[in-house]
Structure 1
């Protein structure tokens, strides 16, 4: 039995609906429904009277609800007492991040964070933006850092810093000497890109569709940006990636778009439940805007 399942049950009863519980917990409605279903499966009971949705408990459901309230209350008491007596900020904070901030933005920040808060452990799980946000919504992680935000009740999101998408080609490519390219210039290129779910791909595909009215076919796509860079180095015609992903690579030419393809990285989180989580969020707010030299700051 997972504590989150009990927490979902308590919230459903207190808020009167699955949608209300989802908003309060900062997770999706399907996630709440799944928690309730798993509780019923593990206990071998029906929690709610058939046909009554979430308004009337069975006898077994009432027993489970009373137990769940005590467990949730006890855990909150434990967290509060431990926080009050501890002189050091300690604990574990989990982050789900898309590949660009996970690989290029967060590492240096988190190294500095650990110097200041050595008793806080940070775990970073890297995927695409869509999966990273889903991990946050299902409460598998505490914080998400992604290429687009999530407008969901119960979650707070704010921009951290700005990034730019660029075209990468080999030095002998016909476009290599261009100071900038347009969407028209990439119309006939066999582009290598990121898989669907990536914020990078969504942003440049939206710009392409706005220009031409149709989507561009991507014949080769990868889940990680380093694979896109390596594929272009290996002879691929071109790729669209974050400027950060190219770094100091001397084997490729980086060409900006005109107009520029800019996007923000966002930090998103729900309930700030521990001191460790709070100090990390505050630290990110203070430090992340300073780490990308030459990129417009967010004030």
Structure 2
């Protein structure tokens, strides 16, 4: 049994197929199949249930897979630490982010990243999702983190985390004690929202349009979520914002939608041009994997 065999097993399960594992590892499909066959022979077990196309593990295969994940993860950690010790990487990585991930998701992650790589500086520029992607396309920044997924024109995206929208109202509002609300409930409300170009606005307006056949008119819109929150605290009837933006706010009632208005935030990038940029992408990817495993 060797590391490449275990790595092939882990990649098959993570990518969902032998072809996906081969592409990820940069080897041929027959090579991946040979790794699995050798593992089965050495261990004296069948790893996958027959006829399931590598999608379902046997009991023994499940045990082996769980150990393989730990081995692969540990060796990758060793490689990273040795690499960092032998040659300290320096440089600057620039990120354009929409307001929610820029204000509430990235700060804690980037603090941890800087502890691990103190010689790499990170600059975050906050705008709406559309502008953030435009800055990436025009190569003003290295990465974008937004509510939009873009896998075209030489760009690659993958999910960073999930988010949910809520209606915010003053605590004395008639809807404040509701456990959930629908599009019908907000039809008559004077809602404060984000400006066009915001992924937040697009998500709930799409749901409203699906219900009523047209978008809801807004008399007051802001480019930043904090302004929407401040407007409702200052007397506006209601607003629609990310749950992340108000979950620690005790002054407003937060009501989820039914069905839930959920979306993902995505990391998007083009050419990985520097080692510093590569390390940041790897770091964020590892954080995502650890979050999913919890």
Q: CA deviation at 1:249?
A: 0.8
The corresponding residue for 2:188 is 188
The corresponding residue for 1:164 is 164
For residues 129 and 298 of structure 1, what CA distance do their matches in structure 2 show?
28
How many residue pairs were aligned?
Answer: 210
Matched, 1:103 2:91: no
Q: CA deviation at 1:161?
A: 1.0
The corresponding residue for 1:213 is 213
Question: Tell me, what secondary structure is at the counterpart of 1:177?
Answer: coil
Matched, 1:240 2:258: no
Partners of 1:162 and 1:298 within 8 A in 2:
no
**Alignment CA distance shift 1:213-1:298 (3 Å):** farther
The corresponding residue for 2:274 is 274
Question: Tell me, what secondary structure is at the counterpart of 1:118?
Answer: coil
Matched, 1:287 2:248: no
Partners of 1:159 and 1:298 within 8 A in 2:
no
Normalised to the residue count of structure 1, the TM-score between the two structures is 0.68
The corresponding residue for 1:262 is 262
Partners of 1:160 and 1:298 within 8 A in 2:
no
Partners of 1:160 and 1:289 within 8 A in 2:
no
The corresponding residue for 1:204 is 204
1:37-186 to 2 correspondences below 5 Å: 87-186=87-186
**Alignment CA distance shift 1:268-1:226 (3 Å):** same
**Alignment CA distance shift 1:298-1:244 (3 Å):** farther
Cα deviations by residue, 1:87-120 (Å, 9 ceiling, x for unpaired): 1111110000000000000000000100000000
Q: CA deviation at 1:289?
A: 6.2
Cα deviations by residue, 1:112-167 (Å, 9 ceiling, x for unpaired): 10000000000000000000000000000000000111242211111111100000
**Alignment CA distance shift 1:298-1:144 (3 Å):** farther
For residues 280 and 229 of structure 2, what CA distance do their matches in structure 1 show?
31
For residues 88 and 284 of structure 2, what CA distance do their matches in structure 1 show?
19
1:26-41 to 2 correspondences below 5 Å: none
For residues 289 and 194 of structure 1, what CA distance do their matches in structure 2 show?
31
For residues 156 and 110 of structure 2, what CA distance do their matches in structure 1 show?
21
Partners of 1:162 and 1:262 within 8 A in 2:
yes
Question: Tell me, what secondary structure is at the counterpart of 1:231?
Answer: helix
Question: Tell me, what secondary structure is at the counterpart of 1:108?
Answer: helix
Normalised to the residue count of structure 2, the TM-score between the two structures is 0.69
For residues 99 and 208 of structure 2, what CA distance do their matches in structure 1 show?
22
For residues 208 and 290 of structure 1, what CA distance do their matches in structure 2 show?
35
Question: Tell me, what secondary structure is at the counterpart of 1:168?
Answer: strand
Question: Tell me, what secondary structure is at the counterpart of 1:259?
Answer: coil
